[in-house]
């Protein structure tokens, strides 16, 4: 495998962490980004202990200047960015028109939609120059099939990632760049703490694990260069009744 760098956002926990670990297991240098340095360092230590290469680059994806600076640093310290796994995301307990706050709506959009756009924008010129690149947008089942309780801002911003991936494939496949809109169903992770009612142990037991999503990300990253996985939906099996 051509061991080019994978840049993972939201890498300190959940699906981002699992994706970073599996990318490192596949033999790729991994750049780890997120807002909190301590969890990122823990993931980096785990990767290095297994013989991999990891660089911690803390940032808020809503800070566009920081994103650009991070892309430059990663290129200098790890080499060309071959792949992006965009896992940074947010939601909030207030999810309905009756109680939403417009500033909160804007903040969620900055993270869930404009954040991925900023990271892609920073990495795309280098990918285009090299003629290769894979972009995985970790979205949501609610972006694939309407889920009324997912939230107005969350649903709108995550659903927009589908056309984002589609336009990348329509315009950039000719440059060797491919994008996947990855839509997982319920995942047992700390992200569930942002729900109005946090699920209990019994509900979590039948959900996907972050590692399930990590394996899906690995499948996309390791697919042959001529294969484009436009959209991938994974969901937990329905329990027997």
| Residues designated catalytic | 154
Contact 169, 230 (CB under 8 A): yes
Give kind and range of the element (H or E) at residue 152: helix 152-159
Give kind and range of the element (H or E) at residue 226: none
Give the CA distances from residue 75 to residues 27, 53, 155, in Å, rounded to whole numbers and listed in that order: 17, 14, 33
Whether the CA torsion 53, 56, 59, 65 is positive or negative: it is negative
Q: Which positions ≥6 away from 72 have C-beta within 8 Å? A: none
Q: Is 215 helix (H, G, I), strand (E, B) or coil?
A: helix
Return the closest-CA partner of residue 214 out of 83, 24, 3, 4.
24
């Amino acid at each position: 495998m051509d061991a080019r760098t994978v840049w993972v956002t939201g890498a300190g926990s959940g699906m981002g962490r699992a994706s970073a670990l599996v990318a490192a297991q596949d033999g790729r240098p991994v750049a780890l980004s997120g807002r909190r340095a301590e969890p990122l360092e823990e993931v980096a230590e785990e990767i290095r202990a297994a013989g991999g290469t990891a660089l911690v680059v803390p940032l808020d994806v809503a800070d566009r200047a920081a994103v650009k600076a991070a892309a430059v640093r990663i290129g200098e310290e790890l080499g060309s960015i071959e792949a992006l796994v965009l896992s940074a995301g947010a939601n909030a307990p207030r999810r309905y028109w009756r109680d939403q706050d417009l500033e909160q709506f804007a903040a969620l959009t900055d993270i869930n939609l404009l954040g991925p756009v900023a990271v892609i924008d920073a990495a795309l010129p280098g990918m285009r120059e090299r003629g290769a690149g894979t972009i995985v947008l970790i979205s949501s089942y609610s972006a694939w099939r309407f889920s009324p309780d997912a939230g107005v801002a969350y649903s709108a911003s995550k659903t927009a990632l589908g056309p984002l991936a589609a336009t990348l494939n329509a315009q950039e496949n000719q440059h060797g760049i491919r994008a996947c809109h990855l839509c997982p169903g319920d995942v047992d992770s700390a992200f569930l703490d942002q729900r109005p009612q946090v699920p209990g142990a019994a509900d979590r037991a039948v959900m996907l694990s972050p590692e399930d999503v990590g394996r899906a990300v690995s499948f996309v990253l390791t697919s042959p260069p001529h294969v484009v996985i436009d959209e991938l939906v994974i969901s937990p099996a329905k329990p027997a009744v």
